[in-house]
Every structure is written in C-alpha cells, then in structure tokens.
Amino acid sequence: MSDRIIKKYPNRRLYDTEQSKYITLTQLRQLIISGVLIKVVDSTSEEDITRNILLQIILETESGGEPLFTANMLSQIIRFYGGALQGIFGNYLEQSMGLFTAQQEQIKKNMGEDPLTTMSNLAQNNMKMWTEMQKDFFNVAGFSSAKKDDE
C-alpha cells in the first residue's frame, strides 16, 4: 500500500492528490486516524514535510481538550534531543507504540473470549515483550546485561 500524497501549497492549503481537492488539517487527521498512510510534500520544492505536518496536528490536538502528553513527559523527551541516546530513544518509543497498537488490535480481536483469560494472556505477553525490548535498549546503550543473564 503506497502513501497518499498530500501537497502543501505556499498559501498553507493542503491538497489531497487522490481525491483532487483541498482538505483541512482536521480532515487530514481523520484520514490518519482511519489508517491511511500519508506523505506530505511541499508543492514547490517537493520536499517531504510529513513530520512537520504531523507535529502540527499533534500540537493542535494537544491544545484543545485533554492533552496526551504531560509537561513532565515533554520535558523528559526534550532532554533526549542532542544526547548520545537520541536515536535509541526514538527507536524505543517507536517500538513501544507498535507494541501498544498491536495489543489494542489483539484486545479487539479477542473481545468475544473470556475477558479474564484475554487480559491475563496479554499481561504475560506484555511482560515478555517489554523485558526483551528493555534488554535490547540497554544493550544498544552500552549497559550489557550479560552478567545478569549468566546468573
């Protein structure tokens, strides 16, 4: 499945090339929520500006209603910028989001089964996956756990 191309024009308007019409940031957000993969390009330079637009959507969403990110969480994220662990932390967050999304899909799929069994199985799988992900994170960061694994 290829990305849906959205062009951003100098007048700040977003153009959906698949539907051949202008869309708002709110409509773009709805596309993303519905699972559409997007790529936003500057109409004049053809530069990929997807990240900038996604950050703009997050900023607008955060400023209205109940925010997802606390000030403390944002401060902690900012502290990783420019540090030796910036890339590792970004990868860790991406894997965490992937894991969380996969679990949400699993819960939706298993809702017809016994809820207690479903939640127990998910909790056990969670612990295994988080343990592995954290071990990988610390190994890459240079904090090898080889001694602990031998014990």
* Cα separation values, 19 from 7, 61, 65, Å: 12, 24, 30
Q: Among 148, 145, 134, 149, which residue's Cα sits nearest to residue 88? A: 134
| Residue that is written with structure tokens 């809702």 in the block | 111
| CB 137, CB 99: distance < 8 Å | no
pLDDT of residue 150: 47
Please report the pLDDT score of residue 113 as a whole number.
64
Does residue 55 have a pLDDT over 90?
yes
Supply the pLDDT for residue 66: 84
Residue spans per domain, the chain: 4-63, 85-141
Residue linked to tokens 């610390």: 138
What integer is the mean pLDDT of 87-93? 88
Q: Which amino acid is at 93?
A: L
Higher pLDDT, 92 or 16: 16
3-class DSSP state of 23: strand
- Please name the residue ranges forming H helices in 64-85: 71-80
Q: Is 128 left (phi over 0), alpha (psi -120 to 50) or beta?
A: alpha
Where do the DSSP E strands lie in the chain?
4-8, 14-16, 21-23, 38-42
Rounded Cα distance between 137 and 125, Å, is 18
- Other beta carbons within 10 angstroms of residue 22's beta carbon come to 13
Question: Which tens digits make up the pLDDT trace of 96-115?
Answer: 898 888 888 877 777 666 66
pLDDT band for position 139 (cuts 50, 70, 90) = confident
- Give the model's pLDDT for residue 101: 86
Residues 6+ apart with CB under 8 A from 125: 103
Average pLDDT over residues 45-63: 94
Residue 110 CA, distance from chain mean position: 23
